[in-house]
């Protein structure tokens, strides 16, 4: 799952870059480049017992289900944050093992239909 988490982090960084550069149509200023660097450096992965928490500059981006023993979710499911320490357990927003999940730099997108 290490590779999938790294891919998720890269997707978050790419979305932030695209947002900052308006999809590559805006020339980046030094301020923009500094903002992108600060955002990228602020991304952090914190591994807990049940979840992998993705943090962006002291704010929780979301959670990823870590194991196979969750009664409701599959390993790799992306969950929105309910708070700093807990995920919203109402619905998965995608799965890091899938190639078609959608996210924003601000967090997992609203509920995606799974299955």
Domain membership of residue 58 (yes or no) is: yes
- The answer to whether position 98 is within a domain reads yes
What's the pTM? 0.90
Would residue 115 count as lying in a domain?
no
Domain that holds residue 7: 2-108
**DSSP bridge pairs for 56:** 43, 59
Place of tokens 């999809």: 23
Q: Split the chain (115 residues) into runs of 10 and give each run's mean pLDDT.
A: 97 96 88 96 97 95 96 97 96 93 90 50
Within a domain: residue 114?
no
How many domains would you assign to the chain?
Answer: 1
Q: Can you name the residues that pair with 45 across neighbouring β-strands?
A: 54
b/e for 12-41, b at 16 or more Cβ within 10 A?
A: beeebbeebeeeeeeeeeeeeeeebeebee
Q: 13 lies in a domain? A: yes
Residue 20 lies in a domain: yes
pLDDT at 22: 87
């Amino acid at each position: 799952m290490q590779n999938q988490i790294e891919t998720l982090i890269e997707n978050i960084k790419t979305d932030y870059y695209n947002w900052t550069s308006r999809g590559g149509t805006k020339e980046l200023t030094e301020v923009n480049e500094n903002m992108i660097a600060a955002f990228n450096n602020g991304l952090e992965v914190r591994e807990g017992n049940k979840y992998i928490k993705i943090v962006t500059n002291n704010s929780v981006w979301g959670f990823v289900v870590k194991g196979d023993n969750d009664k409701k979710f599959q390993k790799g499911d992306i969950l929105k944050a309910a708070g700093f320490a807990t995920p919203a357990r109402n619905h998965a927003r995608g799965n890091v093992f899938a190639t078609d999940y959608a996210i924003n730099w601000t967090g997992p997108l609203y509920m995606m239909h799974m299955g």
